[in-house]
Amino acid sequence: MSRAEDNVMEQITIGQLAKQARVNRETVRYYERRRLLQRPSRSLGGYRVFSDDAVKRLRFIRHAKMLGFSLEEIRELLSLRIDSVVTCDRVRERTQNKIADIEQKIDALQQMRRVLGELVIACTRQRKTGKCPVLDCLEASGDPT
């Protein structure tokens, strides 16, 4: 097979790309606009065509999003995708920062769950009165904790 034929086989449409990466077409377009994916070339018929590398990149983006990385953080990680010790150190540092971020969010969520649980108990004790502890707490201007 010639090199020209290889290039044709490697090109896929936006629909094929979306399907292989398990996202919808609008997601592909959005990542293009955000410059996380390169602008595709056009076929002779005017269709946008992507390379196999776009599938790998889109899967990388999707997986990083599932792990909680923002698009800006993903952009940084993509820019660091060079095989070297320095790159690995930088990626590890960013990943440790993401873990710390997640731990803070978990602490905040546990605090919210505790406060809401206390409010539910207060509601149960309140019975049939005109006051609702949950609504009263939400109306209060201060911190419910």
Please name each of the domains of the chain with its CATH number: 1-64 (1.10.1660.10)
Q: 3-state class of 51 per DSSP?
A: coil
Residue 8's pLDDT band (cuts 50, 70, 90): very low
Global confidence as pTM: 0.70
pLDDT at 5 over 80: no
Provide the pLDDT for residue 116: 92
CA 102, 103, 105, 106 torsion: positive or negative?
A: positive
Helix %, strand %, coil % of the chain (to 5): 70, 5, 30
Q: CA 14, CA 102: separation in Å to the nearest integer?
A: 33
**Residue 102: φ, ψ to 5°:** -65, -40
The 10s digit of each residue's pLDDT in 18-57 is 999 999 999 999 999 999 998 888 888 888 899 889 999 9
Tell me which residue has tokens 């399907």.
19
Provide the pLDDT for residue 31: 95
The 10s digit of each residue's pLDDT in 83-134 is 666 788 889 999 999 999 999 999 999 999 999 999 888 888 766 667 888 8
